[in-house]
Chain A
Amino acid sequence: MAVIHSDAPPVHRPWRRHVGFGAGSALLLAGTVWMIYFDYARDWKGYQRDFRRMEIDKAQERLEEVGARLDADQELARLEDEREQATAEMAQRAGELESARRALDEAEKAFYVAEQEWKVEKSHYDARKYEFEEARRHIMESGLDEAARDAAVAQEAAHFKHYEDRYVASVRGLEEATTARDAAAAEIKKRTGRQDDLRKRIAQITADEEALHRTIEANRESLKTLLLNAPVIDMAAPTLKIEQVILPHLLSDINFTRIPKVDRCVTCHKGIADSKYRQEGQPFTTHPALDLYLTDSSPHPYNRFGCTVCHQGLDRATSFISAMHTPRGEEQEHAWAHDHGWAEPHYWDSPQLPAQHAQAACRTCHIQDVRLKGADRYNRGLDILEKAGCYGCHKIAGYEEQRKAGPSLRHIASKVKADWAYRWIEDPKAYRPTTWMPRFFHLTNTSSPDDRARSQTEIDAIVAYLWARSTPAPAPSGRVPAGDSGRGRRLVSDKGCLGCHRIGEKPAERGTFGRDFGPALDRVGDKVSAEWLFEWVRDPRRYFPQTNMPDLRLTDQEAADVTAYLMTLRGGDPEPPPPASTERLDAVTAEFLMAKLTSRQAQEKLASMGTEEKKVFLGEKLVARYGCFGCHDIAGFEQALPIGVELSNEGTKLITRLDFGFADIPHTKPAWFLQKMKDPRVFDMGKVKSPQEKLKMPDFGFTDEEAETMVTLILSMQKDVLPMEAHRILDEREAAVERGRRIVQDRNCRGCHVIDGEGGAIREVIADQAYYPPNLIGEGAKVQSDWLFDFLKEPEPIRPWLTVTMPTFHFDDRNATDLVKHFAAADGAPFPFQSASPPAQDAEAVRLGKRTFDEFKCLSCHTVGAPAPGIAAADLAPDLTLAWTRLRHDWISKWLRDPQRLLPGTRMPSFFYSEDQPLYPDASERMEAVSEHVLSLGRPRSAASSPRRTPGQDPAGR
């Protein structure tokens, strides 16, 4: 105040303060109003209002439809006429009704009085009862003699009896009043009964209309809703309110603790669980997969799973921004920025998954599942992961036991030429465009002329190392018999090789399983030696014990034929590698030597080494640096640890842990992962790095689709924050199914068979569907566990007409058991034992079976032992002598009843039933009899009732 040098001291200018006070108060009021409004006006309220308006519009539309339908309803018109009539009738007798009503009123009054009295008496009675009980106990414990006690108790009892009587009287009174009231009501009902009845029936017909009216009423804005939703008052019973579900088992990780999720998404996404809103836009539209999510009948009902455990983001949020929505792409990003002021969120570690990556959340609970129904993109990611062998360099939970993705290189020198190996390492796709072997050299960070020269030295050294450590293959080094390539060609196409390999096809995209499981054989003649190939097709396990290639049980001659054919598949010999530069070899070797030695020691050591020695030394270092041993079995690297970063939690890695370098991409995790898939070394761009500091992840040559899929998969590998009860824990049956699925996947069973409705890839190269390998739908319910176990270990022909051979996979007991159990468990069939049916005792039944069997000419397709002559191979059906040991006995009659249901597309006709109607009065007896007859065809004469084979005793027909 001291600085205000005015002529008039402040005391004489009171108006200045009044103005200040007035203006300040006005501002404060305005500020307060703004504050309340700011707190009150929330986006979600707007959405809820919109939704209510939409509900009204929709209801009105429907109302018109329903109205039109009701107008045309004859029944309704008739009922309404009747009701009018009844009303008119009743009007004539209005006096009677009136007096009945008055009587009812009186009865109601009397009832009310009686009821009040009863309540009072009952309360007294209860209290006295308690007092009496207590008094009696006191008297009993008081130490009086017996007579005195009895007298005292009697006195108390008399007192209590008085209240009991009054209570009983009040109950009587109430009963009477009730009877009188009911009688009066019945009296009215008698007069209005017909009308009430009609009203009810009309209401039934017009129920839809009524419901729509109620919907409109419930959603209409009125003075009442305005008041209920007004600021401050809205704490009581607002019609606009936050809707949430509390999920005690699903936790959010907030670093220092984990808190239950409280999902509020449906506050705005109001139509999400209702298929009515499929046509609406966001936020009201229906979820695209209600069969899997949200609905009570789906595996993930809303009340147990909510939204954010899958979609992620911030569960408690109620605004567009704070819910951490993530756009699916640039276009949506711009739209959101415009509509919602959206910007990349920095302050939440797990924003929502972009819609295209939503399946990344499946793994948080389903880590034990080999593949997931309904999660195609995630499954495809796993396919690629397994084929590309990501787990060789990156530790990934669930893949610790998986076989290395590539073949063993222990005997590489006896398989391929060194020139080929050089060119292959340099650029695998140049030899085979569909290979999953990635490219390590001449990439973004190693493409300068200097880098290329260095890369040549490196490849040369790697080849030198592999050749130096390669031992001869443990195969009998015999001469390859002369083969006929024409026969070989037929064998390759007939035996089933094409279930895993392609020859001469140029698929548009690189596949993973099915016919892309094994390498395409287009130029195999350029690659391998005939000697090696002959031994390989004869018995792949000799060369590579862990190989997935099965044994096709070829004879030597067949193997020679196949070899002769495959060796004709050529596209030109590999170019010899460029001449090696000794200076560069010295320089690179010295560089690696200096990791442990001083410069001088390194130079001395270098001088003492020969060229080959240098190459081998360098090769070993490079195999370690590039992690070749992650996918290949390489001598000297048996104990080596994966070279890459662990990926088990990569999806939840904080973005700050990812080095974006100078790459011009959005700073988001999906963008970084995508870039890593597309060009893994681009993050070196613009950096000063020595050759050994450079990034070394190879380029897998992923297509855009593959790269995006892999991003989903990487995002799916998340830190586990959920408690046990939130996870999908497999029970014994499910675990068996998954173990079997693992084997089905690893051995590419689907290359030939249809399993779980998928597979049968080989069908595309078989012209006649009669020659398709069998569909294994319902296999568990169909065959005996014992038989299947034996069959898997040593396949025997069941369908002699098929040329495609079930190869011998040399499953060990454990894997074979797992597979058998998987089939049984998948179909809910008992494992491992099942009962056999005893032989039919009834001679009549035996005759019926035989007769029916002949009558239906079963043998026109099926065989018993050797096939009957004159039947075209394509028309043959399985040998029935096998049924006794092969088929589950209860399965046969189910099969006879409806073959199409058990195996859609089968050529087996349905003899006994048509569309579930028996064709014969004794159809089921006949079926039983035929089934018994079929079993008798293979049943050993002396066999006990159990079909279980005992060692050394081969049952007939096997």
Chain B
Amino acid sequence: MIEMVKGFANWISLPYYFVTLSVVILVAMLVFKSWTRPRNFAILFSLFAAAFFLSCLDANFRIIVVKADNLPIAGMLFLVIFFVWLALKQAFDNDERIAAGKGPAEAEESKDKLLCWPHLVYTEFICLILLTVVLVLWSIIVQAPIEQPANLTESPNPSKAPWYFLGLQEMLVYYDPWIAGVLLPGYIIVGLMAIPYIDTNPKGNGYYTFRERRWEVSLFLFGFVVLWIMLIILGTFLRGPNWNFFGPFEYWDVHRVEPLVNIHLSDILWVKMLGVGLPKNMFLREIFGIVVTLLYLFGLPVLLARTWARRFYVKMGPARYHVMMNLFLMMMSLPIKMYLRWAFNFKYVVNLPEIFFNI
């Protein structure tokens, strides 16, 4: 019985189910709001915690989770759940209040004026003390996970980035380093900085709300929780030796061999569909991929502006719309590529190893 549950957990943790499930849960969280009621959430949270700690009875699970390097991620798992709940709960509450014509709770609270000292500074100071205590105790109880001197001829397996970069490292599975390591992270930073200039919706200033900012909140949660946090968790707990994927209850066997035959778009189109060999000219060979990429980045926004996203185009104006669409499409390029990989062993849309250019 327990073995079956573990087997199911291992199966459901395969990356495609894992990411899909994350998206489904995220949507469900936004649609079915009753889970945010404190009692419901308390039950859900306790169930999750119980499942997590019971899982620690499994040696394979425990060995990964209690590794000193991974403790922050285990903590993050609980913190993220808690804070997502906290934010959404307040947002949903406010939505109800606003619908009832009462205005957000924050408006009411701020009728009372409080002095910064002592009320804020004092509280912050207590937080500071408590966090210092936590850090001191942590440093005593869990010793620094120092390993042997680095060795040119012997890299650790798996070789993992610091935990906060594991999402980026996961991207490396799907894109070349110059995209996954340079372009996309650059986009993330620039994109985050650009948000205030793109999102000019004044609703939600100073209070939590979902209904008034449906798209903004949903998109952010998708990008942050699924594409960042979940990928970190996947990279920490589910990626083992040789960057192979392991379920939470599986032993990290260095010797495990997985079939890895990936094909390019050009193979699919020229060889599989047209039944001819690859053209000699590399640009001719990759012409479909180049066209698809260009269409995706430059054709799609125009098309969308006329159809489904017309209301955004109208509301935001062309400049904001196109910047936003570009950022959005870049973000979506990751899950699109992930699903292509999982479904079709798809490697590159544009495959130009001759000039070190692959997309």
Contact = CB atoms under 8 A, between A and B. Distances in A.
B90 A349 contact: no
Nearest to A257: B149
Contacts of A349: 148-149, 151
B86 A3 contact: yes
Interface string B48-85: 00000000000000000000000000000000000000
Contacts of B136: 28, 31-32, 34-35
Contacts of B244: none
Contacts of A255: 149-153
A906 interface: no
Contacts of B125: 21
A217 B148 CA distance: 43
B110 to A, nearest CB: 9
Nearest to B140: A38
Interface in B135-176: 136-137, 139-140, 146-154
A2 B126 contact: no
Question: Which residue of B130, B149, B150 has the most chain A CB atoms within 10 A of its CB atom?
Answer: B149
Contacts of B149: 254-256, 349
A226 interface: no
B328 interface: no
A3 B88 CA distance: 12
Nearest to B157: A656
Interface string A19-49: 0110011011001101100100000000000
Interface string A243-257: 000000000001110
A11 B123 CA distance: 11
Nearest to B115: A11
B236 to A, nearest CB: 19
B150 to A, nearest CB: 6
A28 B129 contact: yes
A445 to B, nearest CB: 18
Nearest to A24: B129
B148 A347 contact: yes
The main secondary structure of chain B at its interface with chain A is: helix
Contacts, number: 72
A31 B150 contact: no
A25 B125 CA distance: 10
B126 A24 contact: yes
Nearest to B146: A347
A1 B120 CA distance: 10
A20 B119 CA distance: 13
A2 B105 contact: yes
A21 B129 contact: yes
B258 interface: no
A774 B270 CA distance: 89
A29 B105 CA distance: 39
Contacts of A31: 132-133, 136-137, 140
Interface in A790-821: none
B3 interface: no
Given A2-B109, A28-B136, A31-B136, A256 B126 contact: no
Interface in B103-135: 105-106, 109, 112, 114, 118-119, 122-123, 125-126, 129-130, 132-133
Nearest to A259: B149
A348 interface: yes
A10 B122 contact: no
A654 B122 contact: no
Interface string A446-463: 000000000000000000
B126 A20 contact: yes
Contacts of B106: 2
Contact of A28 (B119, B133, B139, B146): B133
A296 to B, nearest CB: 33
A1 B130 CA distance: 17
B152 A256 contact: yes
B148 A348 contact: yes
Interface string B324-340: 00000000000000000
A17 B126 contact: yes
B148 A17 contact: no
Contacts of A610: none
A17 B140 contact: no
B129 A9 contact: no
Main secondary structure of the interface of A (DSSP, over half): helix
A137 to B, nearest CB: 62
B42 to A, nearest CB: 14
B126 A21 contact: yes
B122 A17 contact: yes
Interface in A637-694: 654, 656
B86 A10 contact: no
A1 B123 CA distance: 10
Given A28-B132, A28-B136, A32-B136, A10 B119 contact: yes
Contacts of B109: 1-2
Nearest to B128: A24
B140 to A, nearest CB: 5
A349 B153 CA distance: 12
Contacts of B152: 255-256
B38 to A, nearest CB: 10
A254 B148 CA distance: 8
A27 B119 contact: no
Given A254-B149, A656-B154, A11 B129 contact: no
A11 B119 contact: yes
Interface in B299-339: none
Nearest to A657: B154
Nearest to B208: A2
A345 to B, nearest CB: 9
Nearest to B129: A24
Contacts of A14: 118
Given A21-B122, A38-B140, A2 B90 contact: yes
B140 A654 contact: no
Contacts of B123: 1, 17
Interface in A808-847: none
B225 to A, nearest CB: 21
A17 B148 CA distance: 46
B133 A27 contact: yes
Contacts of B119: 10-11
A206 to B, nearest CB: 52
A35 B90 contact: no
B104 to A, nearest CB: 9
A654 B154 contact: yes
Interface string B2-42: 00000000000000000000000000000000000000000
A9 B115 CA distance: 13
A253 to B, nearest CB: 8
A38 B122 CA distance: 31
Contacts of A32: 136
A941 B132 CA distance: 104
A258 to B, nearest CB: 11
Nearest to B137: A31
A10 B120 CA distance: 10
Which of B112, B119, B139, B147 is packed against the most chain A CB atoms within 10 Å? B119
Interface string A315-343: 00000000000000000000000000000
Contact of A11 (B105, B114, B126, B153): B114
A347 B153 CA distance: 15
B215 to A, nearest CB: 24
Contacts of B130: 20, 24, 27
5 contacts: A3-B86, A10-B119, A21-B129, A35-B139, A256-B149
Interface of B: 86, 89-90, 105-106, 109, 112, 114, 118-119, 122-123, 125-126, 129-130, 132-133, 136-137, 139-140, 146-154
Given A9-B112, A347-B148, 19 more contacts: A1-B123, A2-B105, A2-B106, A3-B89, A10-B119, A11-B114, A17-B123, A21-B129, A24-B129, A24-B133, A28-B133, A28-B136, A31-B132, A31-B140, A34-B137, A38-B140, A255-B150, A348-B148, A654-B154
Q: Which 9 A/B pairs are nearest by Cβ-Cβ distance?
A: A24-B129, A254-B149, A31-B136, A255-B151, A347-B147, A347-B148, A20-B126, A27-B133, A31-B133
